[in-house]
Amino acid sequence: MPKKQPGSSPVLMNQTPEKSADNTSLVFELLDTSDFGLLALNATDHLIYINEAAQQIFDVTAEHVLGKPVVSFMDDPGLLQFIAQGSCDLNKTYEWQQRSLLVSAGKFCENDRVKGCLLVLHKKTTPDITSDDEFNWIKEEFASLLESSYDGIIVADGKSILQVNASFGRITGLAPGMLIGKNISDLETEEHACLAAVQEVIRMTSYHKKTLTLQRRLTTGNEIFLTGNPVFDRHGQVIRVLINVRDVTELKSLEDQIKKVSSVCENFNQLSEEKRDFFQGIVAESPSMRKLVDLVLRISRVDSTILLVGESGVGKDVFARLIYRLSKRNQHPFISVNCGAIPDNLLESEFFGYLKGAFTGADAKGKAGLFEQANKGILFLDEVGELPLNLQVKLLKVIQDRRCRRLGDNKDIELDIRIIAATNKDLNEMVSDGLFRADLFYRLYVVPINIPALRERREDILPLSLMFLNQFNTKYNVSKTLDHELMSALENHDWPGNVRELANVVERMVVTARTDVLMPDHLPDSIKKRNTGLSGPNLPDTMNLKEAQQAMEHEMIKRAVIRTGSTRKAGQLLGVNHSTVLRKAQRCGLDIQAAIRQNKVNPSLADPAH
């Protein structure tokens, strides 16, 4: 299609010199840049103006059609009749050469005489929708928006409740389906404080015609805010009240967690670089751990023998190394030996060393034992309860005399060492059973330190999790964060493997999660089954068939929404209508938004193989 040359006059017929002023030319050039097709006809329906967009729509050039009757290139009877009538209807739809056009037309009159007609055309880019289909689509869209809200939503008129979403049921424990259609004055306000608040919000919002908020506490102890928003008609009358119900208990819990995290970070940042190195791996937010650290600070200055007692994984080796770093021996060796990892027939040679040729297979140069290697420093005997009785006698003598002798040698080696022992067993009980020597027990039991299990100091779980998260983010060059629901799940778990298990779980989530925000779904199955509802419904023996069926429906709907990320797709997966999914979700109080959010933060849930 030929284009106008720059600086040429606008394409307009019967133009007088007086009307060719610069401002008129500018107006027509602006019209030529419009995305809408514009045609101007005179009183005899001859074309006097056509802009660039209209030329493209009808696939013509201005030079060929200006001054000609519009019927010369437009042969659509319906469109021609529309032009002839000069109707002012907006966005009338017409099909033109397999293209849908939105058309508006208007006539220009002077002294009741028709001077011409202006036609405005625009390509229609959306599919044609019948009024019924459009109404149903809008209705379903509204329902989806309502259900996707994490807050509870109630829509009411002056007399009754029209809509209630599933989140309201989750927050209040009331089935949304039992409220829809109910008269406002018939609400059970005496039995349910939230319904009394709903009733009050509707009446006050309708009366005062402005937004207002009430605060109430439920019988469960949760605190909620109810905000009423008036919806007006064109006469300024309130025809609807939209109520937003928000549970601020969870927000306050999240605020407390944020404060806790900030406090941990602030306390850590306030430590000097030297102290940070000393306390590396130690978290002491709980009272019991603070007392423990205080004890360690005091005993690290002396050379008394220490016995660390605690379950496997509580960090006995971490405390042993802390004592070493804080002691005056920190410039000398720290030798750690796991007494349960050395074969019995090698224990004596490993502990005390040997001369060359002391026994078959001995190193030709001989070897210094662990006691000798630790001279001037600290020897850490981990899992000391695993030592056999025959070696316990020799160990006792070394501790008493502070000297040892290599195998095959006849000379003693003077020792200046400090002994730190650790065990996860009850040595006192082992003494009673004849499995551990009483004299050795009392030699080791000079300063006993009991390290509490992680489940007994839950205040340390979150700080430890953040410490490990920071370590593994740095190690694997990622930037993962913990969701507040995951924080709660971590704090509520008993951690039978203690700190070691927590570190392993955090590392596993960091390296396996596909998202930057770690959620409860990223936890191992053993922990997830205890902290989430994704393991399937737990049906008690007392549940009847109807209740069991409803519980199973609830679980299947939840899983379908999590898997598909949409209530519409969930309905297709389950073989039911979209409205059925919404209705059943409302009835059972399912949090649709939370389920959709799980799909978005963990796309792997959409794949059954995961």
CATH number of the domain encompassing residue 318:
3.40.50.300
On whether residue 267 sits in a domain, the answer given is no
On whether residue 538 sits in a domain, the answer given is no
Give phi and psi for 215, each to the nearest 5.
Answer: -120, 130
- The DSSP 8-state label assigned to residue 521 in this structure reads G
On whether residue 11 sits in a domain, the answer given is no
Q: How many CA atoms lie within 13 A of 30 on its CB side?
A: 6
168: Cβ contacts below 8 Å, ≥ 6 apart: 152, 153, 154, 174, 176, 245
Same domain, 302 and 439: yes
Give the Å distances, CA to CA, from 187 to 193, 250, 364, 583: 10, 27, 93, 21
Rounded to whole angstroms, the Cα distance separating 520 from 540 reads 25
Q: Quote the tokens at residue 432.
A: 């009673």
Q: What is the pLDDT of residue 601?
A: 44
CA 471, 472, 476, 480 torsion-angle sign:
negative
Same domain, 146 and 162: yes
Same domain, 161 and 301: no
Rounded to whole angstroms, the Cα distance separating 132 from 138 reads 10
Kindly give the residue spans of alpha helices, DSSP state H, lying in 209-283.
248-270, 273-278
Mean pLDDT by 10 residues, the chain (610 residues): 42 45 59 78 85 84 86 73 59 64 74 77 57 63 74 86 86 82 83 84 88 83 86 84 82 60 50 51 81 86 91 90 89 91 82 77 76 92 90 88 85 90 91 91 92 89 88 90 83 89 93 88 77 48 69 80 76 76 74 64 41
Rounded to whole angstroms, the Cα distance separating 443 from 419 reads 10
- The DSSP 8-state label assigned to residue 451 in this structure reads P
Rounded to whole angstroms, the Cα distance separating 77 from 610 reads 60
Angle at 98 between CA 95 and CA 104, to 5 degrees: 30
Cα-based torsion angle of the residue sequence 444, 445, 447, 448 in order, rounded to the nearest 10 degrees: 120
Same domain, 167 and 186: yes
Give the Å distances, CA to CA, from 183 to 117, 164, 179, 209: 55, 13, 9, 20
Cα-based torsion angle of the residue sequence 521, 526, 530, 536 in order, rounded to the nearest 10 degrees: 70
Q: What is the pLDDT of residue 21?
A: 47
Name residue 94's beta-bridge partners.
Answer: 101
Give the Å distances, CA to CA, from 436 to 142, 337, 338, 388, 391: 74, 19, 17, 8, 11
Same domain, 357 and 447: yes
- The DSSP 8-state label assigned to residue 46 in this structure reads B
Same domain, 144 and 225: yes
* Residue where a domain stops, chosen among 101, 123, 145: 123
On whether residue 589 sits in a domain, the answer given is yes
Name residue 75's beta-bridge partners.
Answer: none
Q: What is the pLDDT of residue 250?
A: 60
Would you say 407 and 348 are in contact if contact means Cβ atoms under 8 Å apart?
Answer: yes
Expressed in angstroms, the distance from the first to the final Cα of the chain is 57
Q: What is the pLDDT of residue 320?
A: 92
On whether residue 6 sits in a domain, the answer given is no
A 10 A CB-CB count for 38 gives 18
Same domain, 523 and 550: no
Same domain, 515 and 469: yes
Q: How many residues does the chain have?
A: 610
CATH of the domain at 116: 3.30.450.20
Q: What is the pLDDT of residue 183?
A: 87
pTM of the model: 0.47
* Residue where a domain stops, chosen among 451, 485, 507: 451
Domain that holds residue 410: 287-451
Same domain, 488 and 431: no
On whether residue 264 sits in a domain, the answer given is no
Strand 306-309, strand 517-518: pairing: unpaired
Strands (E), 394-514: 403-404, 413-414, 418-423, 447-450, 481-482
Same domain, 60 and 208: no
On whether residue 273 sits in a domain, the answer given is no
On whether residue 3 sits in a domain, the answer given is no
Q: Please give the tally of structural domains in the chain.
A: 5
Nearest to 466 by CA among 253, 268, 244: 268
Would you say 473 and 451 are in contact if contact means Cβ atoms under 8 Å apart?
Answer: no
* Residue where a domain stops, chosen among 423, 451, 479: 451
Would you say 306 and 421 are in contact if contact means Cβ atoms under 8 Å apart?
Answer: yes
Same domain, 114 and 143: no
Same domain, 336 and 375: yes
